Chains A and B, each alone.
Chain A
Amino acid sequence: MNELLMLSIIVIIYLFLTGYVGYVAWRRTKTADDYMVAGRETHPFIMALSYGATFISTAAIVGFGGVSGVYGMGLLWLTFLNILVGIFIAFVFFGKRTRKMGHNLGALTFPEFLSKRFDSKFIQYFSGLVIFLGMTLYASVVLIGMARFAETTLSIDYSVALIVLAVIVALYVIFGGIRGVMYTDALQGSIMFIGMFILLVATYWMLGGVEHANQALTNLVNIVPADATAKATATGFTGWTSMPALGSPFWWTLVSTLILGVGIGVLSQPQLVVRFMTVKSNRELNRAVLVGGIFILLMTGTAFIVGALSNLYFFDTAGKLAIQVVNGNADKIIPAFITAAMPLWFAYIFMITLLSAAMSTLSAQIHTQGTALGRDIYETLTKKTGGAASVYIARLGIAIAMIIAVIMGFILPPNIIAVGTSMWFSITAAAFLSMYVFALFWKGCTKAGAISGLVVGTFLSFFWLILEFQKSAEALGIVKALTGSAVLVPSLPWPTVDPIIISLPIAFVVTVVVSLLTKKPSKEHMEQCFNGVGK
């Protein structure tokens, strides 16, 4: 009971700090520019931590960490791409151009940026709609994860946790705008940084050092009884320090969904892209690359290494594999390892780390949804723009987004978290990536080309998710009701191929072909967009 009291006090202190930082942000927010892009003068350290903390949710640490507990360190390719694509390429090649072009065009949101670049109002409200609807699912799964966590560790009723956490996040996002989101992100990112750093060092130290621990994990596959890994071996498992068999179902999941879907899909995440528009110059982005790279290495790198190594710990202490200890639920591997192997004080720090990861992602999600509904959909369709009304409508949008997330938190089935996250990444990559890449790098891309790529990419990924991709089609159950089979084409590998593999290349081709066939944009408009870009 004393332990629970102590943990509750730590959580209250943490929430109080978050509230205070949110309050400071609110005091500094006056205009629509402040509310949506933080007056374009964010400190590089805050920008990098906010980007990283938004990027990495609880699902990345606990969910994917658990996956590496089952299949091993092959997931480190995702960390590799997270850093190379999600930080280096995103900041150096996409971020700088987005910042300058966004400033040239006076854009405050990602859909507004695309719409002004291609001079099309349709792009703005269609993208706003895709973001608002798609993110509803993504935001609610993060909220569900957060409430489930409070339920198990603090023994709070799930419904109470869901509502209380939603109200706290909603308050600082509604009042503080993006400053509220980014300041609290920076606080939460710092906590995550410390928590994951301790976890990595302590785990390797406990298992006898990097080389010794990895070597023991390499040998483990030959020591454990074959029936313990039989189920995993059937889907491609070969050991915790070797890649799954080429072309096996797990190989496809690892390569298409995890590595390509999440690794590349990050480039066109609206809640991340908007952060490039919150800094004053390229210098801030250059500095943020340094902070961001180290941050992501420590987040996902630690989660995937510790997840895999937990097998070694559990085999040494209990004679079981990690997945056996948690009775087959991979989501529980990381929490179980921390409870069993780490001292109590660290378990508390780790809980705050997870709470931080969830809150920082959720706050960015509902801020993006709010501005999508307010600025991109409502203002574009009613032609009422700018000023105080713009902020008022965005605030209303945020409140609506949070209410929907809470309602879905009560409705959605329990195993939706990982599926919801990867669905969101697939849809945004298919819808926005081709148009976004060409907006920055190809002057010949036309309005018609951009719109065709957007529409084709969006609908193709929706169809693939609903009809063919096993994880989502099964969860939705529409094909089952119509045809009796879980997916439209059941022969392998199609049900395990992520929608991004299908819809992204097609969206790119469509954008290029239509652009080549249609009228080029005016020279004056291109000059305005590209003024100072790429310098």
Chain B
Amino acid sequence: MVLGINDPWIWGAYIGCILVTLLCVIYGILNWNKGGEDEEGQVKEEVKWHKKEKEMEEDELGLWDEHDA
């Protein structure tokens, strides 16, 4: 007997409701800040790309300078 109920099909449902709510709560907490705005991700990707390109340019320029020297 669980929580004053004999039939496992009923206390199973009772406990199941609480467990599945806990699942929602835990999922919500663990993923609270995950999956933020798509645009934000896209902007970050673009910034990263620009940075990389700049680095590459600088590297090349740097190499060029060395050659020049």
Contacts and interface: CB of A to CB of B under 8 A. Distances in A.
Interface of A: 72-74, 76-77, 79-80, 83-84, 87-88, 92, 96, 100, 210-218, 239, 241-243, 280-283, 285-294, 296-297, 301, 532
25 contacts: A73-B13, A74-B9, A76-B14, A76-B17, A79-B17, A83-B24, A88-B20, A92-B27, A96-B35, A211-B3, A214-B4, A215-B5, A216-B4, A218-B4, A242-B10, A281-B36, A281-B37, A283-B35, A286-B35, A288-B28, A290-B24, A293-B24, A293-B25, A294-B21, A301-B17
B9 A286 contact: no
Given A286-B27, A286-B32, A289-B31, 4 more contacts: A88-B20, A88-B23, A283-B37, A293-B23
B6 A294 contact: no
A287 B29 CA distance: 7
A525 B21 CA distance: 38
Interface string B31-60: 111111110000000000000000000000
Contact of A297 (B6, B9, B17): B17
B23 A282 contact: no
Contacts of A74: 9-10, 13
A189 to B, nearest CB: 16
A286 B37 CA distance: 12
Interface residues of B, number: 29
A293 B20 contact: yes
B35 A241 contact: no
A406 to B, nearest CB: 37
Contact of B17 (A83, A239, A242): A83
Given A87-B24, A282-B34, A291-B28, A297 B7 contact: no
A497 B13 CA distance: 22
B16 interface: yes
A210 B4 contact: yes
Contacts of B69: none
Given A218-B5, A243-B9, A73 B14 contact: yes
Q: Name, among B9, B17, B32, the residue most crowded by chain A CB atoms within 10 Å (CB to CB).
A: B17
Contacts of B1: 215
Given A77-B13, A80-B16, A283-B35, A242 B6 contact: yes
B13 A80 contact: yes
By Cβ-Cβ distance, the 5 closest A-B pairs, closest first, are A290-B28, A293-B24, A282-B35, A214-B4, A215-B4
Nearest to B29: A290
B16 to A, nearest CB: 5
Contacts of B20: 80, 83-84, 88, 293
Contacts, number: 117
A316 B18 CA distance: 29
A331 B10 CA distance: 23
A291 B10 CA distance: 25
B21 A286 contact: no
A219 B9 CA distance: 17
A287 B23 CA distance: 13
Contact of A218 (B6, B23, B28, B35): B6
A532 B35 CA distance: 12
B13 A286 contact: no
A420 to B, nearest CB: 27
Contact of A242 (B7, B16, B28, B35): B7
B68 to A, nearest CB: 45
Contacts of B21: 83, 293-294, 296-297
Contacts of A216: 4
Contact of A211 (B4, B7, B23): B4
A72 B21 CA distance: 21
Given A76-B10, A76-B13, A88 B5 contact: no
Given A74-B13, A290-B24, A290-B27, A241 B6 contact: yes
A56 B54 CA distance: 55
A291 B9 CA distance: 27
Contacts of B27: 88, 92, 286, 289-290
Q: Name, among B28, B32, B38, the residue most crowded by chain A CB atoms within 10 Å (CB to CB).
A: B28
Given A76-B13, A211-B4, A283 B24 contact: no
B25 A290 contact: yes
B29 to A, nearest CB: 7
Contact of A73 (B10, B25, B34, B38): B10
Contacts of A72: 10
A293 B18 CA distance: 10
A308 to B, nearest CB: 10
A214 B7 contact: no
A239 B31 CA distance: 41
B25 A294 contact: yes
Contacts of B13: 73-74, 76-77, 79-80
Nearest to B6: A218
A257 B1 CA distance: 29
A49 to B, nearest CB: 14
Given A211-B4, A293-B20, A297-B21, A243 B10 contact: yes
B17 A73 contact: no
Contacts of A290: 24-25, 27-29
Contacts of B9: 74, 242-243
